[in-house]
Amino acid sequence: MINILIVGICIAMFIISVFMPQLYYYFALWPNLFTNMPWQIITSMFMHADITHLLVNMFVLFIFGTYLENMVGSKKYLIIFLISGIIGNLAYIAYAYLTGDYNPSVGASGAIFGIMGALAILSPHLKVVVFPLPIPVSIRVAVAIFALIDLILLPYSLKTGIAHITHLAGLITGLIFGKLLYDRMDVKYY
């Protein structure tokens, strides 16, 4: 399964970067260096800032990514993952130039938000737990909550250290992919 491979690559890259921190310079997304190192738009998705960042992202990716891959197949899943992450990273670069904040970005969050967006369309009644809510909610409600939080915190990205624009752009990309796939599916997952 592609999702397991992606999780494995992320874990391997994190372990390697602990022993070779200079990889961060080459594989993180530096908005002002993107034209000289364009591969960063992809490699940054497989890098993570610290162990908590890695564990949270890999937990969410494992759960939702496996579910989506089983639903749409490995090829379509990989396309959703990569394109959502790339669009999220392009949005981050654009936002960096608009705000003058050229801090590097790492993580699979844009791709993960794309996966959640696709699931919100393809399997809208899927129940998920959103901390600290005490009851499961539909993935659509969860996605709406996450989008609202990111919209509210977007102007504070420098303070939060979170690429909120990447989340939002990845989510929108996933919603679009979800709608395109839903319209072509014979069996609806309601």
Q: Is residue 190 part of a domain?
A: no
| Residue 50 to residues 54, 167, 177, Cα–Cα distance (Å) | 6, 18, 30
Task: State the pLDDT at residue 132.
Answer: 81
Question: Comparing 187 with 112, which gets the higher pLDDT?
Answer: 112
Q: Is residue 59 part of a domain?
A: yes
Q: Is residue 189 part of a domain?
A: no
- Tally the domains of the chain: 1
- Quote the CA–CA distance of 155 and 99 in Å, as a whole number: 9
Which tokens belong to 168? 């939002």
Say which DSSP state 131 is in: T
Q: What is the pLDDT of residues 16-30, one digit of tens each?
A: 999 999 999 999 999
CATH number of the domain residue 139 falls in? 1.20.1540.10
Catalytic annotation present for 167: yes
Catalytic annotation present for 164: no
Per the structure, the complete domain to which residue 32 belongs is given by 2-184
Q: What is the pLDDT of residues 147-173, one digit of tens each?
A: 999 999 999 888 888 999 999 999 999
Which tokens belong to 172? 């929108």
CA 156 vs. chain centroid, Å, equals: 19
Quote the mean pLDDT of the chain: 95
Percent of the chain with pLDDT over 70: 97
Q: Is residue 159 part of a domain?
A: yes
Q: What is the pLDDT of residues 79-91, one digit of tens each?
A: 999 999 999 999 9
Q: Is residue 39 part of a domain?
A: yes
Active-site entry in 109, 123, 157, 164: 109
Active-site entry in 48, 53, 164, 167: 167
Q: Is residue 57 part of a domain?
A: yes
Q: Is the pLDDT of residue 130 over 70?
A: yes
Strand partners, 127: 138
Nearest to 171 by CA among 102, 103, 91: 91
Strand partners, 138: 127
Q: Is residue 68 part of a domain?
A: yes
